[in-house]
Amino acid sequence: MTPVLVFDLETIPDVSGMRQMGSIGSELSDADGVAQVVSERLAKGQSDFLPLYLQRIWVIGCAFRDDQGFQVRCLGEGYGTSNADEAHRLRQFFGVIERHTPQLVSWNGTGFDLPVLHHRALIQGVAAAQYWDTGDANRDFRFNNYLNRYHSRHLDLMDVLSSHSSRANAPLDAISQLCGLPGKLGEDGAKVWDACLAGRGEAVAAYCETDVVNTYLLYQRFRLVRGEIQHTDCDAEYRLVHDWITTQLGNEKAPLRGAHWEKFLAAWNL
């Protein structure tokens, strides 16, 4: 089978970058500096959401499915916010693509996650030859690569389901619940910066992990409706994920042991 990699980013303001650009003075703390930048943007009639190139990657949540089974993890070691920490996460993410050439799946990856990955890889100088290939190294990538919006090596479920119309976009939480899945649990994505300042990295990682599992399960439902698999196949994938999470909860050494997964299983109408 072709491996599947579902991914989701949680980002924080690139404070060091804004200091380098002169947007935040050395006399201000990180929290006060970001608050000042946001206040200035609002005064100009701009959004309080910073441009994508100023979003530092704090967490990369991944769900990975191959012949060996299913697993979920957040990339990186700990929840550091330095350039080295971000570069390490990027190298791990693109390293999975280099080794496995997976089917990438996201929810709004075209509009957010991939542009952020592109900007941050450029800033951090992280190479990813397989990801950027459009046919020069592998002829097959000329007709199906990760970069072309209408190619299929990366499937942005939100974009495809809305027929590439932003007016028809649907939130992951709502669609998940309408399909009988738990939806988003834990930290709100808009509060990640507050969580970072408060040292709640594990809570953000938990939130990100549930996002990628919701997305993977929706991807199986999508494969069903486009005729790629049968109901029995979809049910088998759902059971695989359910059983794997259950096994993790029963293993004290497992990386996913946590209350968020107990809530996830309790909310799942399987």
Residue 115 and residue 144: Cα distance in Å, rounded? Answer: 19
Q: What share of the chain is helix, strand, coil (3-state, %, to 5)?
A: 55, 15, 35
Q: What is the CA angle 16-126-213, rounded to 5? A: 90
Burial 233-261 (b: 16+ CB within 10 A, else e): ebeebbeebbebbeebbeeeeeebebebb
CA 192 – CA 113 distance, rounded (Å)? 15
**The pLDDT value given to residue 254:** 58
* End-to-end C-alpha distance for the chain, whole angstroms: 25
Task: Tell if the pTM clears 0.85, that is, is over it.
Answer: yes
Tell me how far apart the alpha carbons of residues 182 and 267 are, in angstroms, rounded to a whole number. Answer: 5
Of 20, 49, 13, 24, nearest to 194 (Cα)? 13
Structural domains in the chain, CATH included, are 4-267 (3.30.420.10)
112-141 pLDDT, tens digit each: 999 999 999 999 999 999 999 999 999 999
pLDDT at position 52, please?
Answer: 97
pLDDT along the chain (270 residues), means of 10: 96 96 95 96 95 96 97 87 94 97 98 98 97 95 94 96 93 96 77 91 90 97 97 98 88 66 89
- Determine the Cα–Cα distance for residues 70 and 93; give it in Å rounded to an integer: 17
Cβ atoms of residues 25 and 174 within 8 Å: no
Give the number of other CB atoms < 10 A from CB of residue 189: 18
Cα separation, 185 vs 27, in Å, equals: 37
Per-residue pLDDT at 249: 82
Predicted local distance difference test score (pLDDT) of residue 252: 65
d(CA 229, CA 65): 16
5 three-state secondary structure: strand
CA distance 121 to 3: 23
